[in-house]
Chain A
Amino acid sequence: MSLVSVLYLVFLTIVAIAYYAIPQAWKTCLLLIASLGFYGINQGFYIFILLFSIIVNYTLIRLWAAKAAKPWVIAAVLFNVMLLGLFKYIPAIFGFAHNPNGSLFQRIAIPIGLSFFSFQAIGYMLDLHWSGKKTVATFPQYSLFMSFFPQLLAGPIARGKSFIPQISRAKSFDYSCIVAGLRRILWGLFKKVVIAANLAPYTDVVFQNYREHQGLTIILAAIAYTIQIFMDFSAYSDIAIGSAKVLGYELMENFRIPLFARSVTDFWRRWHISLSSWVRDYLFMPLQYQTRAWGKKGMLMATMLTFLLIGVWHGANWTFVVFGLLQGFAISWEILAVRFREQLWKLLPDWLSKAVSNLTVFLFITASAILLRSASIGDAFAFISRISVSTGTVYFGSKQLLIFALAGMTFVFGVDVLKGEMLITEFIDKQPGLLRWSLYIFCIIAILLIGSLRSDNFIYYQF
């Protein structure tokens, strides 16, 4: 049951109706059943991995709460790292590529959402330990925190300290909250179906058969992939945040117009915020604190390690390691050259410095995203090397699909420029009624008319 399927919308409607119809005391239980059912439908018997993770993590939390002993925290971190290793890294490192008809090891796939709920579990345990408070969530509350269906498959990575208090808060039917959620879902569907899904056939063809293409085609495909991955993942986040909002929950924002960032540091404050803030809080800050005596060197080391983790979080492939290191190097350079960059930008008019820095970041991210899409480092370099061969004839694939995606992109980026840092739901809320309704109808008709309705997978499921 993909988040862009009719089935999901029906499921969400039924859950929401039931949720507001039953007494407060039963609401957590209903959401828990719905979440486990949702995961079971999507992942079959892998639901036992999720249940196992919840039970073991909660046991460790209770043990910690009894004595506040550090070993339980270490045990919790190790347990989640081992779980990730067992399913995500060991099979890849030892060459057991997933094969449904292969040996036992080959038949094991990565449970979707494992990286997300494992990080949530680690974050919650560390928050508890660092705060020193022994008030822990109840088992149903903790289970819901770990398995809440809107964000279970691909985030945003929730934090216990903001999510768990929401569970016990009384929730009644709130018109504005539900409308805001529905708006967000519609916006996400538009981005996924009209832009990301229409770009996918083009990027798939070029990346899979890059040896057949060269020059401008390669550049176009790389740019298209950057936009596709952004639209795809931000669409998922919109639908997840919107679905949670319909049920009266606030999830962390995951994107703040990242393609308008003016430095790589700025980009990572705007892109996959729930992951970047997680590594900032649980890895970068402690590391920086530990190495504070080393000054800038300590900061650079913490930066590199943090981005190495971000890279490796995506999977067990050298491409992800290099992706992470590239981001680390870029941010390290920005830390070291802060004065030089400031002086350089002062030489240019304000608008030009903004445009140049924005374009530079976009090109850097586009080049790094090739690593996320390529099967190996060799493939990534071979892909990049095709840029220089010759311009040749540019391959556009289905021009209609590219035009649809371009039209959708122009619309979304236009709205992004107008709304700035404001959330899309707030922006829509501020518009006159006629414009608001026109926007809803435009999105629905565009989805039916030019949307690729067969697309159901999100890129970030694989991570």
Chain B
Amino acid sequence: MKRLLFKSILLLAITILLDFSIGKVLAYMFFANTSGAPGYVLNHAVAKHYDAYIMGASGAQRGYIPSILSQELGMNVLNTGEAGTNIFHNYAALKLILKQNTPKLIIWDLTDADYYYRPDAGKTGMITPYYKDASIKKLLYDMEPLNRLWLCSKIYPYNGKILSIVGSYFLKPNAEAGGDRGYHPILGTINPRLRSLYLRQFSEEQSYVLHRSKDDAAKDVLIRKYFHAFIRLCQQNNIQLIAFHCPKAPLNSQIASTPLISVELRAQLHKYNIPLYSIMPSQYPQMNELNLYYDFSHLNHRGAQVYSRIVARHIRNTSNMMPE
């Protein structure tokens, strides 16, 4: 028994020492990358000041062009969108930004995943390296109680990122790595042969908010907690929050005119007086072309150019929004 105990303690001690050393090196390399490349956009957001931030998931990252918005609105804009994330990422990003700077405007690319749990949204890999920040640590603990244990490891916050961290540190990211201030264009157009697949995706996205299992409902509670916290954080800091809902590929008239935003989510935004613009292709003829879309839910670069101008126009027209 003593032998087993002694060897276990020795193994644990060596592992902790290695974990600590490797973790320190990874942290140094990770935070050295302020290019704004996907996965590192928060490093950039924390290092530089902007007047406005675009927040959201892949729809934001690929649909909102900061250079167009900056030109049209006369303010510095950064796109902090990250694919596969939800409100947790937005909340963490805002918390980090507020430590350095109070923005004037947040352009929020809103989806139902910011209010309802979805297994394919809610990636936290981009925020775990910031676990030392108290509010982010609390968020990580709320999301996964076992993070209390995992975050004892100094390596764990960089889980799954070693190639990217080491590669970008030694090979130095090129000028395009950060995209256009966090915007990453996608080229190519929607494949019409996959029409049936996209139609199924549309009906699934429509129905998933209606049929919540007990497990999903329990997870919704946490998402909503941070949904409200995010809005309150904006209000407490006098940040103008404008929500947009990106158009989906108009494969038929129903998709072109049906926003995939639940009634309950709309009601919540209304309660907080947050303007919501659903850019439906049926109402915006310039968005009613299939060759502006990369797939069912993402715009391609041409689509993003057209869409960003529409977004800028709405922001300009929204009361008390124009910079002095």
Given A100-B213, A453-B150, A441 and B18 touching (CB < 8 A)? yes
Partner of B4, one of A179, A209, A212, A445: A179
Extra pairs beyond A173-B1, A445-B155 (19, CB < 8 Å):
A6-B146, A101-B211, A101-B213, A175-B1, A211-B194, A400-B161, A400-B163, A401-B160, A437-B11, A441-B11, A441-B14, A441-B15, A441-B18, A445-B15, A448-B155, A449-B22, A449-B162, A450-B159, A453-B159
Determine if A178 is an interface residue (Cβ-Cβ < 8 Å).
yes
Which of chain B's residues have a CB closer than 8 A to the CB of A444?
A: 15
Q: Is the CB of B22 within 8 A of A445?
A: yes
Determine if B31 is an interface residue (Cβ-Cβ < 8 Å).
no
Bound: A451/B146 CA distance, A: 16
1/0 contact string of A429-458 vs chain B (CB within 8 Å) = 000000001001100110011111100000
Query: Which residues from 146 to 169 on chain B have a C-beta closer than 8 Å to any C-beta of chain A?
Result: 146, 149-150, 153, 155-156, 158-164
Partner of B214, one of A100, A179, A400: A100
Which of chain B's residues have a CB closer than 8 A to the CB of A400?
A: 160-161, 163-164
Which of chain A's residues have a CB closer than 8 A to the CB of B18?
A: 441, 445
Instruction: Name the residue of chain A whose CB is nearest to the CB of B2.
Output: A175
Query: Which residues from 203 to 252 on chain A have a C-beta closer than 8 Å to any C-beta of chain B?
Result: 209, 211-212
Q: Is the CB of B4 within 8 A of A448?
A: no
Q: Is the CB of A451 within 8 A of B4?
A: no
Determine if A404 is an interface residue (Cβ-Cβ < 8 Å).
yes
Which of chain B's residues have a CB closer than 8 A to the CB of A178?
A: 4
Q: How many A-B residue pairs have CB under 8 A?
A: 57
Bound: A453/B211 CA distance, A: 28
Which of chain B's residues have a CB closer than 8 A to the CB of A437?
A: 11, 14
Interface residues on B, range: 20 to 34
Determine if B3 is an interface residue (Cβ-Cβ < 8 Å).
yes
Determine if B220 is an interface residue (Cβ-Cβ < 8 Å).
no
Q: Is the CB of A449 within 8 A of B155?
A: yes
Bound: A445/B149 CA distance, A: 15
Q: Is the CB of A209 within 8 A of B197?
A: yes
Determine if A356 is an interface residue (Cβ-Cβ < 8 Å).
no
Instruction: Name the residue of chain A whose CB is nearest to the CB of B155.
Output: A448
Which of chain B's residues have a CB closer than 8 A to the CB of A441?
A: 11, 14-15, 18
Determine if B19 is an interface residue (Cβ-Cβ < 8 Å).
yes
Question: Min CB distance, A11 to chain B, in Å?
Answer: 14
Bound: A10/B262 CA distance, A: 42
Query: Which residues from 76 to 111 on chain A have a C-beta closer than 8 Å to any C-beta of chain B?
Result: 100-101
Which of chain A's residues have a CB closer than 8 A to the CB of B149?
A: 6
Determine if A403 is an interface residue (Cβ-Cβ < 8 Å).
yes
13 sampled A-B residue pairs with Cβ under 8 A: A6-B149, A101-B213, A178-B4, A212-B194, A400-B161, A400-B164, A444-B15, A445-B22, A445-B155, A448-B19, A448-B156, A450-B162, A453-B150
Q: Is the CB of B197 within 8 A of A212?
A: yes
Bound: A404/B164 CA distance, A: 12
Bound: A450/B125 CA distance, A: 12
